Structure 1
Amino acid sequence: MVFKKVCTLDDVWEGEMDCYEVDGQEVLLVGLEGGDIRAYQAVCPHQDIPLAEGRFDGKRLICRAHQWVFDACTGIGINPGDCRLASYPIKIEDDAVYVDTADIKPLFAHT
C-alpha cells in the first residue's frame, strides 16, 4: 500500500466532507457521526456529479442532482440499493490523514 498524506485531523470535522486530489484521483473524505473518517470516490456513480456539492448529515451522503443516497459508513447505496461508492483505505498517524488510491477506481452504476 502507498499511503499519501491528504490533510490533518483538524481538516475533517464530524458531520462535514471535503474533496482532495490524491495521485490524480478525486477523493471525498467524510467525518462520520462519532468521529470516524472514511474516504470514497468523490463523484456519484450515477452521472459523475461531485458528491461534495450534495449533502452529508454525518450518516448519509446525498447527491444533489438526483438525490441518490449512500450510507457514509459503508459507501453502499441506500436509494437506489444496487450501487456503491469505491472506498479508499485510510490511516491516521500523528494527527495526519493518509489515503491509498492504488488499484482503486471509481465505480459507476446504471443511469
Structure 2
Amino acid sequence: MSEAEPRPGERLIIQEDCAEDKLKNGILTLTNQRLIFEKTEGRMTTLSKKTEEVLLDIPLEKISASKSEGFIIAKVVVELSDRSYKFGVLNTGHWAKEIMTQVNKSKPT
C-alpha cells in the first residue's frame, strides 16, 4: 500500500497540483489526518502527470501554523517545529484556513 493511500477513517479535504519552493512540482493533499505532498513528473507528449513518490507525509499534530504569504506570487506556508514549507497553490487563503481548521479538529479535547 502506498503511503498516500487513505488510512482508516481518513477523508480528503482538498487536493491541488502545485509546486513547493525546494521540492518542486507535485500534488498537495490535505486530509482530516495529514498533509501529503507527492512528487509528479509531467509528460509533454501526453500532457499527463505521473505520481513518482511521496516526499512529505505530515501528521496534522506536527503542524504548528499555516498562513498565506506574498501578493504577486502567493504561497501557503506550513510551519513545523523545525522547518517550514512554501506551496504555490491557487487560493492560498483557503488552504491556510483549511489546514488550521483540520489541525484544530485533530487536537485531543
Tell me, yes or no, whether TM beats 0.5.
Answer: no
Higher RCO, 1 or 2 (CA under 8 Å, sep at least 6)? 1
Q: Which structure has the greater CA radius of gyration?
A: 2
Structure-1-length-normalised TM-score: 0.32
Structure-2-length-normalised TM-score: 0.32
Q: Where is the helix percentage greater, Structure 1 or Structure 2?
A: 2
